[in-house]
Chains A and B, each alone.
Chain A
Amino acid sequence: MKTLRDSSYIFLFITVLVIELLIGVFAEFSDIEILPFLILLFYISINKFSNAYILAFFFSGIYYDLFYTSNYFGFTSAKFLSIGIIINFVNSKLNDNLFSEFLVFVLAVAIYKFEFIIYAFSFIQLTIIFLISVINYFLFKLINITLKRDVFKKSI
């Protein structure tokens, strides 16, 4: 049962990762990107952080390194796992309000896109990262509200 659960999480993560790449295709390579995989990582990191997702983090990174990048093997896995642990840690230390949560999301985007900040640091890049954060945070809140709605409490 545990193996089935872990496999389904791995499958979910890889599917969302492929969807993120396909959204990039439909968006015709715009700088302002929609990042469903990052939203998933963020959601798991702050709401469902546990060991159950560790293999999903690890293997989705391995899959990405194998088929979509020229990175060394394990690089993206380490990045995804670091996002999970850093975001959970920072979120637990901050107050539970919208602004703090948004700041943590900006941090998650900054780690996710750290190559752009390190290799091509400019005001334009920072603006793009901020805009990506705003759009994706809005989507994250939308998904979060939808998932939190308790259908059993609703009157029929």
Chain B
Amino acid sequence: MFQEPQKRRNYIIYILFIFLSGSIFLVDLFSNKKFSNLISDNTDFLFPVSQEASGFFDSLELNFIKNKNTLITENIRLKNEVIELRKLKLINERLVEEIRSNNELIKNVNFENFVYYKSTILIKNTEDEYLISGGRNINLNKSDLILNEEGFVVGYIVKVFDDHSLISSIINSDFSIPGIDKYGNQYLITSNREELLINSIYIEEVNLNIDYISTDVVFDHIGQFPIVRLSNEEVSSANNKISGVVGIDYKFNFNSNIYIVKEK
């Protein structure tokens, strides 16, 4: 009997909090994210375990081993050595892989005016956006380009934190980047998560023999980096418009070799 009015009261309070969230949303929207940036710029928290804490636990473990008798200590030392050797083997394999990907990148990109920061993927949020390592500590900014090891643009930075950044990648439905071809035609490249959709926004010369669409300084990018290769793809032209669809083959994972490109 008393449950219904109580439930209604609960609903009303929940709705009031939804309105409160909506009000905060509107304040942030009309202040052009100044409100949320003010808080996220002054606080930084990704994982609950800090480096200092893990160092503290390591030293505790060492003290504990010291109190054991010699034989057990020796046994543990040998075990640790084996573990260390295994770790070194893994590091070595990772470095070989890194050298291979760096060599791959060197073949494809220009090193004269740019510096490339190697980054790794930390987390994927529920909207399929990736958090990558590197943030204000290496002077990253919003809209900095993210390249894969072949030098293709696979995303750009949308939010910068102290030591990590949030990116919009080619598998996000809100991914949108302008590009240019060798004839000077300009395109807008968007994504539906499975394919990249290419639509011309300015036509200089109608020619379907397009090899690559790249970023360019005309769009405030720092240079020319390929976004899509169209040499083997079907491109159509109608009413002075060029359009095409390219499947997304690139898969992000923890071993993805991604690079953040900055001007020197």
Instruction: Assess the A21–B123 pair: CB atoms within 8 A.
Output: yes
Contact with A along B4-39 (1 / 0, CB 8 A): 000101110111011011111101110001011001
Contact with B along A68-101 (1 / 0, CB 8 A): 1111111101100110110001001000000000
Looking at chain A's contact residues, the main secondary structure is: helix
Instruction: Assess the A24–B124 pair: CB atoms within 8 A.
Output: yes
With A25-B124, A112-B126 as given contacts, are A72 and B25 in contact (CB-CB < 8 Å)?
yes
Residue in B closest to A33 when the chains form the complex, CB atoms = B126
With A74-B21, A74-B22 as given contacts, are A66 and B253 in contact (CB-CB < 8 Å)?
no
Q: Within the complex, which residue of A28, A50, A58 is in contact with B21, where a contact is CB–CB below 8 Å? A: A58
Is A57 an interface residue, CB under 8 A from the partner?
A: yes
Residues of B within 8 A of A85 (CB): 11, 14-15, 18
B interface residues, tally (CB under 8 Å): 51
Instruction: Assess the B173–A68 pair: CB atoms within 8 A.
Output: no
With A68-B166, A81-B17 as given contacts, are A74 and B40 in contact (CB-CB < 8 Å)?
no
Instruction: Assess the A65–B36 pair: CB atoms within 8 A.
Output: yes
Q: Chain A nearest CB: distance from B72 CB in Å? A: 33
Residues of B within 8 A of A5 (CB): none
Contact with A along B158-202 (1 / 0, CB 8 A): 110100001010000110000000000000000011100000000
8 contacts between A and B (CB under 8 A): A18-B48, A67-B45, A67-B46, A81-B21, A89-B11, A113-B126, A119-B174, A124-B194
